Structure 1
Amino acid sequence: MRFSHGSTSTPTAIAVPPSLALPVIEAAFPRRLHEYWPKLQEKTRAWLLEKRLMPAGTVEEQADGLCYTDLMAGYYLGAPDEVLQAIADFSAWFFVWDDRHDRDIVHGRTAAWRRLRRHLHTALETPRTHLHHADPLVAGFADSVLRLYGFLPATWNARFARHFHAVIEAYDREFHNRAHGVVPGVEEYLALRRLTFAHWIWTDLLEPSAGRELPDRVRAHPAYRRAALLSQEFAAWYNDLCSLPKEIAGDEVHNLGISLITHEKMTLEEAIADLRRRIEECVAEFPLAEREVLRFADALADGTADGKELGDTVRSCVANMRNWFSSVYWFHHESGRYMVDSWDDRSTPPYVDNEAAR
């Protein structure tokens, strides 16, 4: 049991179910929140209202308890306030988009999804022209992307756009799989999950948080890439572990556990054990990768001012990769997004627009 920062000034005790507990995270990955967090929460709440991404009543009743800002404030430590605000608003948008995607599937809104997919692709390239789009989800996306594009050079923006185009297409593949009841094979799922979880987007955002774009030779270095991947794989697979019972009950097809059960003929208990093994390996291997990255950062500090700055940027990025473990872990136990037992209808989250027509 630990005490949550939560969404109020009064700490509340969080008891992690034994099936989901990872004592090594609780012991060796201490959680901190960016000092801007209280203001971040307030401003993201206002942004969701301004952009009409959630109804006013939902923002009032649900936004703080969903803990979206807590997740980002526990990750991008050291980021300038305006950078963290842009990231937090983008993250909140991402969750709303994920919910729209889910409801479009549930209600068979194929045409609406295709239209949204097309608009998001174009907004990614020309966000300024989509700021007043009729669909609040497109307008909110354009606003957050335009702000993110203001921090680093055009080369970073182009990379972010390339990575997010791939995320949109991965969501389209998930739409097809879920609409047709297709459970992807394990290797197919692992590759797709890296995109639907936006591994490289959250990794890209480490750079504006640190205040500098990393050159390709640094980002492609095996140690840097390995540490980044371990932190993101942990997050995606832990999410799958926490979501597995709910998604099995809802006849879901996109979960590593479901792929293991379907294609590897595992029992539910075996699939959970396999998920935990993968998760625990990520946690165990990260400190080794982290040490390699720190050695690499030392080597970059070649005596020049630029070399020192580059080394410092790499250290900042890998420190925040470490923060992702604890932030993701506690988010899953604090956020109302995963408290399915408290919902009136286990198939319909209380924070989504569940209208059948759009």
Structure 2
Amino acid sequence: MHAFSGGATSATAVAVPPSLALPVIEDAFPRRLHPYWPRLQENTRRWLLEKRLMPPDKVREYADNLCYTDLMAGYYLGAPDDVLQAIADYSAWFFVWDDRHDRDIVHGRPEDWRRLRQRLHTALDAPEDHLHHKDALVAAFADSVLRLYAFLPAAWNQRFARHFHEVIEAYDREFANRVAGRVPGVEEYLALRRLTFAHWIWTDLLEPSAGCQLPDAVRKNPAFRRAALLSQEFAAWYNDLCSLPKEIAGDEVHNLGISLITHSGLTLEEAVEELRRRIENCIAEFIEAEREAMEFAGELDDGSVRGKELSAAVRTCVGNMRNWFSTVYWFHHESGRYMVDTWEDRSTPPYVNNEAAGEK
């Protein structure tokens, strides 16, 4: 049951399996959603069709149930409607890109991936030149990036581009690992996961949501940065916990649990226990980091106009870091993306296009 009201706490009737249940999230991290959500869902669905990112029949049947807009509407509270729309469209693109990457691996299309990787690097630096690219994925990427670039000064755009170039290269490393069947070690995996999960991209997007580009001294403040990292680590590790059974069944190599089993000699049960321990510690550490980051926000308010602006922006960003916990948690139990048991073929998501795509 979806209960999306104007930023208010919402109840849910979704049953969470005991092995994945986190009572602290359900009790201490109330779920709220942006009041723009209904229009967000409608507009992103339309954008997916216009940009030809999913076939019309798959958009009709699966787009709403995938809950991509729900995820963003539960994160970037307080964002202006046009900012949230741009972020939601970009997020939907990201999921489609992730699916293309996966299908290129599964169907043995390294040249298609190499070509796409290079085009995304190029489009990131000059999106206005790629709005009509023959590969719909590249054209939609250019559109979403160009819209994101409109909200804050050039320095933010350059940082976003730098961070996403790193994400593209991390996806390439994952491609190579999966093709070779190579399971990265635990520390190597954790570092790579911060990039493939795009930790710093979602953190960057807190700033246009708050309407303020944060100076380096604020972004790199230890308390602020620690809270940002912990919110993203929770999301990545909880995703790994939810995905572990199907990824083991699919001979996947990129999952913290699989790295723990392969390189630390843990059994499946021990790996699940270790994942839960890390996740629960992450939540506890975030609560402490959140308190310190809010204290830092208070210190920024020195009575000047700029000080008040920065203090308010940091409070908004840290508040939304907290929102990330609940929105990620419920997304994993509501999105059709994770309901593998309902798929006709457990190895093939029903919402993806398995054909090779893009200009050859």
Using structure 2 for the length normalisation, give the TM-score.
0.96
Which residue pairs with 1:50 in the alignment? 50
Residue equivalent to 1:323: 323
How far apart are 1:354 and its partner, in Å?
1.5
The aligned residue for residue 291 of structure 2 is 291
**CA distance in 2 between partners of 1:68 and 1:183 (Å):** 29
Q: Which residue matches 2:8?
A: none
Q: Deviations over 1:290-330 (max 9, x none)?
A: 11011111111011010000000000000000000000000
Q: Any idea what the Cα deviations from partners look like across 1:333-355, whole Å, max 9, x if unmatched? A: 00000000000000000000123
State the shift of 1:5 in Å.
Answer: 3.3
Deviates more, 1:12-21 or 1:240-249: 12-21
Instruction: Return closer, same or farther for 1:12/1:236 CA change in 2, 3 Å cut-off.
Output: closer
Query: 2:304 corresponds to which residue?
Result: 304
Corresponding letter in the other structure for 1:302: D
Counterparts of 2:12 and 2:316, CA distance in 1 = 30
**Aligned residue in 1 for 2:167:** 167
Distance 2:178 2:291 in 1: 40
Contact 1:4–1:14 (Cα < 8 Å) also in 2: no
CA distance 1:288–1:12, shift in 2 (3 Å): closer
Measured against aligned partners, the alpha-carbon deviations of 1:253-276 in whole angstroms (never above 9, x if no partner) come to 000000000000100000000100
Residue 141, structure 1, aligned to residue 141, structure 2:
yes
Distance 2:20 2:332 in 1: 10
Q: Which residue of 2 aligns with 1:110?
A: 110
Mapping for residues 246-257 of structure 1, pairs under 5 Å: 246-257=246-257
Counterpart position of 1:340: 340
1:84-128 per-residue CA deviation (whole Å, 9 max, x = no partner) reads 000000000000000000000001100000000000000000000
One-letter amino acid matched to 2:169: E
Gapped runs of 5+ residues in structure 2?
A: 5-10
Contact 1:164 1:201 in 2 (8 A): yes
Residue pair 1:79, 1:208 contacting (<8 A) in 2 also = yes
The Cα offsets for residues 213-250 of structure 1, whole Å up to 9 and x where unpaired, read as 00000000000000000000000000000000000000
**Unpaired runs of at least 5, structure 1:** none
Q: Give, as a single letter, the amino acid of the residue that structure 2 aligns with 1:70.
A: D
Amino acid at match of 2:341: D
Structural RMSD (CA):
1.1
8 Å contact kept, 1:4–1:334: no
Alignment of 1:194 onto 2:205: no
How many residues are treated as equivalent by the alignment? Answer: 352
Q: TM-score, normalised by structure 1?
A: 0.97
Matches within 5 A, 1:88-99: 88-99=88-99
Show the counterpart of 2:279: 279
Q: Determine if contact 1:184/1:254 at 8 Å carries over to the other structure.
A: yes
- Rounded Cα–Cα distance in structure 2 between residues aligned with 1:84 and 1:259: 35
Structure 1: how far apart are the matches of 2:54 and 2:202? 23
Instruction: Give 1:286 shift.
Output: 1.0
Given that residues 257 and 271 in structure 2 are in contact (C-alpha distance below 8 angstroms), is that contact kept between their aligned partners in structure 1?
A: yes
User: Secondary structure of the equivalent of 1:322?
Assistant: helix
Q: 1:270 to 1:196 in 2, by over 3 A?
A: same
Runs of 4+ aligned structure 1 residues displaced above 2 Å come to 3-6, 355-358
Displacement of 1:12: 6.8
Offset of residue 49 of structure 1: 0.1
Equivalent residue, structure 2, for 1:227: 227
Kept after mapping to 2: 8 A contact 1:31/1:327: yes
Q: Evaluate the alpha carbon distance shift between residue 150 and residue 269 of structure 1 in structure 2; reply closer, same or farther with a 3 A threshold.
A: same
Contact 2:242 2:332 (8 Å CA) reproduced: yes
Shift, 1:285, TM fit: 1.2
Match of 2:3 in 1: 5
Distance 2:194 2:294 in 1: 25
Q: Secondary structure at the match of 1:94?
A: helix
Q: Is 1:259 matched up with 2:247?
A: no
1:241 matched to which residue of 2? 241
- Name the % identity: 79
State the match for 1:180 in structure 2: 180
Shift of 1:13: 2.3
Of 191-200 and 281-290, the range deviating more from structure 2: 281-290
d(CA) in 1 for partners of 2:255 and 2:58? 28
SS at match of 1:245: helix
State the distance in 2 between where 1:13 and 1:155 align: 43
Q: CA deviation at 1:36?
A: 0.1
Do residues 150 (structure 1) and 150 (structure 2) align? Answer: yes
